[in-house]
Amino acid sequence: MATGTPEPTAPTTFPLPKPLQYPASTPPTLITQGAEGRLYKTTYLVPSLPCALKYRLPKPYRHPLLDQRLTRHRIISEARILVKCRREGIAVPAVYAIDEKSGCLSVEWIEGDPVRAALNTYLLQNLEADASVDAHVKDLMRRVGRAVGRLHQIGVVHGDLTTSNMMLREEKAAEATGKGILDGEIVLIDFGLASQSFQDEDRAVDLYVLERAFGSTHPRAEVLFDELLEGYKETFKQANVSIKKLEEVRLRGRKRSMIG
């Protein structure tokens, strides 16, 4: 689930949840840090079981009691949504442990590359190819669309849909079977901003965020966003309603860009 360059020397002085206090656990290694918290790689209970540890940093500008309540709510909400997704057969990390008091959530470590890195590498390796007709890129877009469709079908909106928050899970013996860099199961990660909603507006905003992300990080593949929406239709029964609402969200976004 690596989304950045590991920093082994980064500080790890924070209250570890009890499952990570066992002697068999591996000391956490900082992978990346965002506005809401840090992501570490460690192990769960035994050294052979890697896990991702999300730690929500205390916010000194907030009242301590309010900060504690918000952290508790967000950690529990993320864990519940992940459990719901797993129960419905959606590819997301399994929840291992939660310590809402210390702001820690331990989940399954997904081996593989973020879709963002894999797609950019592929496009860089194929500079002469036309991404709009590339079969491998089109297939990836369809698979991403199907993954988002499954999520919306069960009433969950991600809140931060980007190709950085999607992993291509490594398949065993991938090299031996001739699998390419864009192959692998799409696994959605980082549900820190996710919520449960059946509102078409919320689903459309989810799609709009993803579309904007494609435009800024994969400009050569942006023309294939309609291919993604075709995959979305395959797994979400009310896709046409959400896509129609997406047009309204796009219009509002363009107006904001013109006004500044």
The residues annotated as belonging to the active site are 160
Structure tokens at 4: 């950045």
For the record, the structure tokens of 69 come out as 């309540």
* DSSP secondary structure of the chain: ---S--BTTS---S---GGGGSTTSPPPEEEEE-SSEEEEEEESSSTTSEEEEEEEPP-TTS-HHHHHHHHHHHHHHHHHHHHHHHHTT---PPEEEEETTTTEEEEEPPPEEEHHHHHHHHHHHTTTS-TTT-HHHHHHHHHHHHHHHHHHHTTEE-S---GGGEEEEPPTTTTTTT--TT-SEEEE---TT-EE---HHHHHHHHHHHHHHHHHH-TTTGGGHHHHHHHHHHH-TTHHHHHHHHHHHHHHHHHHHHH-
